[in-house]
Amino acid sequence: MQAIIASTSTVHGSSYLDYLKPTLKNHFHDSEEVLFIPFARPGGISHEDYTAKASQGLKSCVKSVKGLHEFSDMKQAISEAKAIFVGGGNTFLLVKQLHELDLMKTLKRSIEHGARYLGTSAGSNICGVSMQTTNDMPIVYPPSFQALGILDFNINPHYLDADMSSTHKGETRETRIKEFQTLNSEIVIGLREGSWIKINNLEITLEGALPARIFEPGKQAYELNPNRPIKF
Amino acid sequence: MQAIIASTSTVHGSSYLDYLKPTLKNHFHDSEEVLFIPFARPGGISHEDYTAKASQGLKSCVKSVKGLHEFSDMKQAISEAKAIFVGGGNTFLLVKQLHELDLMKTLKRSIEHGARYLGTSAGSNICGVSMQTTNDMPIVYPPSFQALGILDFNINPHYLDADMSSTHKGETRETRIKEFQTLNSEIVIGLREGSWIKINNLEITLEGALPARIFEPGKQAYELNPNRPIKF
């Protein structure tokens, strides 16, 4: 497997996918065409508009980007793709579509068989065992919370440290993840914006400048430094 | 119906339920016993411990608090209760339990037939049409997102204004609610911490010191001042 699983598409002060460009040029260096899955529809944007945005973002990296919605046989499109990008937005919406169109297994198989994968935000969340550590609002009801499971842990994208000066009483991200682990056994990686996970065959590493926060059930949460293997 | 539907159980700098005490003394003035529904389990706390916490919080308002988990016939307990408190925690967990134990309709009927209701956070979220504007993490998979629907709109508790100085790229609360409305037709009330909705028979009002943020589909979001009727 070859995958880039990023916390966010965009970091503060730069434009869409900009901070990932050097990485993506290398990742997609022999990919002519990228199949874009626009189902997460950030802000309710249409599949067409979202695909145009992805196409613009990947312009300097690949020749062409096609939206999955343009294909009449989506399973075939995924199976035959040499490179796949699943963009961010709402994870519930993305997972609902993938399950209802029966694409989850096809997508997993395609990645396992060598399609070069890029995920950002919701598109990274689905690489985990389940989507249950998403930050998103449940704007639709998916038939299942199961995700691709190409990683054997869960991802919390856009991970945010608690703001100690805040007077807000809503749960911190750490509290939410710990609540998840009172009822589930998956390890969770809190992936800060600017961080990504790289899968290079059997090697899984944390990339970017920042450490990630690791939650193993029953242990104190701890930091993992970048450029290190992720191994439990 | 007589209900207090609060954004949060606790405001910054004071203890559990403190800011609501004058309101609750009045609300529960003729209630000897309150039935507490501890299913949302904040931080994974046990039903017993959560009920003890609720009991402590309501000590100056009512004679006794009993946890729903103490009853062998939960439907009967809810049907016969004169006062009911549903505490906060994880909305997915709360809604899953209420659906799986087939208590949603019973609870709605009991409130409609006069049981004095108190909800905080997740316990307020379920008063809306659906739980789909919760902020919580989907730590369990409920059989449905449908909620009590004693209000004909949805609630977003712990409503947070966008922090204009933030460099974080995760969606703002307003963006999330607007994404919800690209696919759903419910009006949403963003209820800030320290605010609550009061139902006094047919009169529904916004209480507390702060305005609430109102999201009507297809309209610009706007502020509603406190001590005003909520009417669409």
Instruction: For A96-128, write each residue's pLDDT tens digit.
Output: 999 999 999 999 999 999 999 999 999 999 999
The answer to whether A131 faces chain B, any CB pair under 8 Å, is yes
pLDDT tens digits, B151-209: 999 999 999 988 878 888 888 999 999 999 999 999 999 999 999 999 999 899 999 99
**What's the Cα-to-Cα distance from B197 to each of A57, A89, B38, B78, B194, rounded to whole Å?**
45, 31, 21, 22, 10
By C-alpha distance, the chain B residue nearest A184 is B139
Q: Which residues of A touch B50 (CB under 8 A)?
A: none
Which one from B7, B130, B136, B195 is the annotated catalytic residue? B136
Q: Which of A44, A176, A177 sits opposite B182 (nearest CB)?
A: A44
What is the mean predicted confidence (pLDDT) over A190-205?
Answer: 97
Chain A nearest CA to B107, separation (Å) = 23
> What distance in Å separates the CA atoms of residue B66 and residue B64, rounded to the nearest whole number?
7
Is the sign of the CA dihedral A69, A70, A74, A77 positive or negative? Answer: negative
B158 counts as catalytic? yes
In three-state secondary structure terms, A36 is: strand
Alpha-helical regions (H) of B63-155: 74-80, 91-100, 104-112, 122-125
Specify the pLDDT at position B132. 98
Q: Which of B137, B160, B175 sits opposite A180 (nearest CB)?
A: B137
pLDDT(A150) > 90: yes
B121 counts as catalytic? yes
Q: What are phi and psi of B189, to 5 degrees?
A: -105, 120
pLDDT tens digits, B87-144: 999 999 999 999 999 999 999 999 999 999 999 999 999 999 999 999 999 999 999 9
Place of tokens 């992805």: A54
All domains of chain A, ordered by start, with CATH?
A: 2-229 (3.40.50.880)
Residue A180 binned pLDDT confidence (cut-offs 50, 70, 90): very high
pLDDT tens digits, B35-76: 999 999 998 999 999 999 999 999 999 999 999 999 999 999
Which one from A121, A124, A130, A195 is the annotated catalytic residue? A121
Q: What are phi and psi of A209, to 5 degrees?
A: -90, -15
pLDDT tens digits, A41-90: 998 999 999 999 999 999 999 999 999 999 999 999 999 999 999 999 99
